[in-house]
Chain A
Amino acid sequence: MKNIIFLTILSLIFGIIIYDHNYSGVAYNPLFHKEGETSGSINAMPCGLGGSHNHKH
Chain B
Amino acid sequence: MVAFKKVETTVALFGIIFTLLFSYITYSSIGLRHFLVFVIGIGLGFSLYKSSFGFTGGWRNFIENKDSSSLRAQLIMLGLAVIVFSFVIGSKSFIYDGKIIGAIAPISLSVVIGSFIFGWAMQLGGGCGSGTLFTAGGGNVKMVITLIFFIIGSTVGTYHFSFWSSVPSFGAISLLDNYSKSNVLILQLGLIFFIYYIVSYIDGKKNINFNHSNIFKFSSTNLIRGSWPLILGSVLLVFFSFLMLHAAGHPWSVTFSFGLWGAKIITLLGIDVSSWSYWQLSYPAIALENSLLADPTTLSNLGIILGALIASALSGNFSNQTDMNRKLFLAAMIGGFFMGYGARLAFGCNIGALFSGIASGSIHGWVWFLFAFIGSYFGVKSRKFFY
Contacts and interface: CB of A to CB of B under 8 A. Distances in A.
Nearest to B284: A48
Contacts of A17: 292-293, 298, 302
A40 B98 contact: yes
Contacts of A52: 101-105, 172, 250
Interface residues of A, number: 43
A7 B305 CA distance: 12
A47 B33 contact: no
B66 interface: no
Contacts of A18: 21, 25
Nearest to A39: B99
B104 A3 contact: no
A15 B310 CA distance: 19
Interface string B56-69: 00000000000000
A36 B249 CA distance: 14
Given A2-B321, A20-B291, A24-B290, A31 B296 contact: yes
Interface string A4-26: 00110111001001101101111
Given A30-B286, A33-B249, A47 B348 contact: yes
A57 B10 contact: no
B18 interface: yes
B251 to A, nearest CB: 7
Contacts of A56: 165
Interface of B: 8, 10-11, 14, 18, 21-22, 25, 29-31, 33-34, 90, 92, 96-106, 108, 139, 141, 144, 158, 161, 165-166, 169, 171-172, 248-251, 253, 256-257, 259, 264, 278, 281-284, 286-287, 289-298, 302, 305, 309, 318-319, 321, 344, 347-348, 352-353
The 9 closest A-B pairs by CB, nearest first: A33-B98, A46-B256, A40-B99, A50-B281, A21-B291, A44-B283, A50-B282, A30-B286, A24-B291
15 contacts: A3-B319, A10-B305, A20-B292, A21-B29, A21-B292, A26-B30, A26-B294, A30-B286, A38-B97, A46-B296, A48-B161, A48-B284, A52-B105, A54-B281, A57-B171
